[in-house]
Structure 1
Amino acid sequence: MKLIIKDLSKTYGNGVKAIDNVNIEIGVGMFGLLGPNGAGKSSLMRTIATLQSPDSGSISFGDINVLEDKMSLRKVLGYLPQTFGVYPKMSAEALLDYFATLKGVKTKSDRQTLVKEVLEITNLYDVRKKNVAGYSGGMKQRFGIAQLLLNNPKLIIVDEPTAGLDPAERHRFLNVLREVGTNSTVIFSTHIVEDVKELCNEMAILNGGRILKHTTPMEATAELDGKIWTKVIERDDLESMEASYNILSSNYNQDNTLNIRVHALEKPASDFENAKPQLDDVYFIALKEGESVGA
């Protein structure tokens, strides 16, 4: 099933244009929606999830007209928002059984089978008797995935799921998402470039409510072959370098010098070296070009 968004726009009462004429098609697999905080990612996710209505445009998922038939979409939707409510002092097993009841799984044996399955998928089975309120941040995020899997969703939306997780928890969470994202359409919204690089086979960069680039991580970096250059400079020289070159990023070295990455079609100067493109480069270029277009 394919998610098709056409001419979608949303402006809030305070005048902020959160979604600006978005057109995109998303198929089965892991899709990364990458953008800085405040780019409009959560607004787009909430609109797709039928939690708010756009001012104009259309959304379809398979044969479902999402904006006109919200209940049909919700039956096949799994949604993990950026923040969710405080959990009661119930075990993961008991709480999932309760959620399964709400989702229409009537017999106890069916619920037990389903709950065991989603706990195993999310690597929470060994802590199923523990209160969810006492889970770590990463465990709570994996529990969020477990509860959305109860209705075998065809469309899964996860909004900034790794924000605030330590490296080990983030790695475990991404592994869970990778496993559940093989047979469903999964939209993974994040401002962390590394998450998209590790997880997604397709991506879009969003800022100011607009899609700046729709591509794959592999194609995007291949486009920059021979166009990324590096040079080590003194920290005090950064301002003058920024005036002369299109600097994408700069990182400190141990000796307090800076390693700069520059986007240029040809070698900027004899003391620059060609560098292998990274997805971060793609991201920074798209944001810079988007700013110049929007200016």
Structure 2
Amino acid sequence: MKLIIKNLTKTYKNGVKALDNLDLEIGIGMFGLLGPNGAGKSSLMRTIATLQSPDSGEIIFGDINVLEDNMSLRKVLGYLPQSFGVYPKMSAEDLLDYFATLKGIANKIERKAIIKEVLEITNLYDVRHKNVAGYSGGMKQRFGIAQLLLNNPKLIIVDEPTAGLDPAERHRFLNVLREVGTNCTVIFSTHIVEDVKELCNEMAILNGGKILKHTTPQNATQEIEGKIWTKIIQKDDLEENIKMYNVLSRNFNPDNTLNIRVYSETKPSEDFTASKPQLDDVYFIALKQDEPLLTS
């Protein structure tokens, strides 16, 4: 089933244009929506999830006209917001049983079977009797995935799910998402480039409510092959290099020098060396190219 978004716009009462005539088409698999904080990612996620209405535009999922038939979309939707909320002092098993009842799974045997399945998928079965309120951040995020899987969703939306997780929890969470994202459409919203690189077969970069680039991680880096250059500079020379070159990023070396990454069609000068493109480079190039539009 394809998700098709056409001419979607949303301006809030404070004048902020969160979605600016946005067009996007997403198929089955893991789709990464990459952008900085305030780019419009959460606004787009909430609009697709029918939690807010756009000013204009169209959203189609399969044969469902989402904006005209919210309930049909919600029946096949799994949604994990950026903040899932406060948990009551209930075990994961009991809380999932409650959610399953709310989602219309009336048969007790059927509920028990689906709860066992989602707990196993999310690696929470061994702690099913523990109160969710006492789970770690990563476990709570995996529980969020477990609850959204109860109705066997065809469209899954997760908004900034790895923010605040330690590396081990992040790795476990991404593995769970990777497993559930094989047979349905999963939109994975994040500002962490590494998450998209590890997880997604397709991606888009969003800023200012507009899609700046729609591609695959592999194609995105191939496009800039031979156009990324690095040079070691003194910290005091950074501003001068920013004026001279298209500096994408920089990082400190142990000796307190800086390693800068530059985007250029040709070798900027003899003291630069060629570097293998990274998805971070693609992201920073798209944002830098968008800067004149934001300031005009």
Q: TM-score range by the shorter chain?
A: over 0.9
Amino acid at match of 2:94: A
- Opposite residue 124 of structure 2, the aligned amino acid is L
TM-score under structure 1 length normalisation: 0.99
Aligned residue-pair number: 295
Alignment correspondent of 2:135: 135
Measured in 1, the distance between the counterparts of 2:183 and 2:231 equals 44
Per-residue CA deviation, residues 168-197 of structure 1 (Å, 9 max, x unaligned), is 000000000000000010000000000000
AA of the residue aligned to 2:172: R
Which position in structure 2 is the counterpart of 1:49? 49
Unaligned runs of 5+ in 2: none
Query: Which digits, 9 at most, give the CA deviation of each residue in 1:139-169, with x for residues without a partner?
Result: 0000000000000000000000000000000
Which residue does 1:283 correspond to in 2?
Answer: 283
Tell me how far apart the structure 2 counterparts of residues 61 and 178 of structure 1 sit (CA, whole Å): 21
Q: Within 5 A, what are the aligned runs for 1:26-175? A: 26-175=26-175
* Cα offsets for 1:180-216 (capped at 9, x unmatched): 0000100000000000000000000001111110000
Give the Å deviation of 1:294: 3.1
Distance 2:246 2:107 in 1: 62
AA aligned opposite 1:89: K
Q: CA RMSD in A?
A: 0.5
- Spell out, residue by residue over 1:258-288, the C-alpha distance to the aligned partner (whole angstroms, 9 max, x if none): 0000000000001100000000000000001
**Following the alignment from structure 2 to structure 1, what is the Cα–Cα distance between the partners of residues 26 and 51?**
19
Q: What is the one-letter code of the residue matched to 2:168?
A: A
Structure 1 runs, 4 residues or longer, greater than 4 Å off: none
Number of the residue aligned with 2:247: 247
Separation in structure 1 between the aligned mates of residue 57 and residue 104 of structure 2, nearest angstrom: 32
Q: Give the match's secondary structure for 1:74.
A: helix
Matches of 2:53 and 2:228, distance apart in 1: 41
Among all aligned residue pairs of Structure 1 and Structure 2, give the percentage whose two residues are the same amino acid.
Answer: 81
Structure 1 regions of 5+ residues with no counterpart?
none
1:226 corresponds in structure 2 to: 226
Rounded to whole Å, the distance in 1 between the matches of 2:11 and 2:241 is 38
CA distance in structure 2 between the partners assigned to 1:31 and 1:84 by the alignment: 21
Which string of whole-angstrom CA distances, capped at 9 and with x for unpartnered residues, describes residues 208-247 of structure 1? 1111100000000000000000000000110100010000
Return the alpha-carbon distance in structure 2 between the equivalents of residues 225 and 251 of structure 1: 21
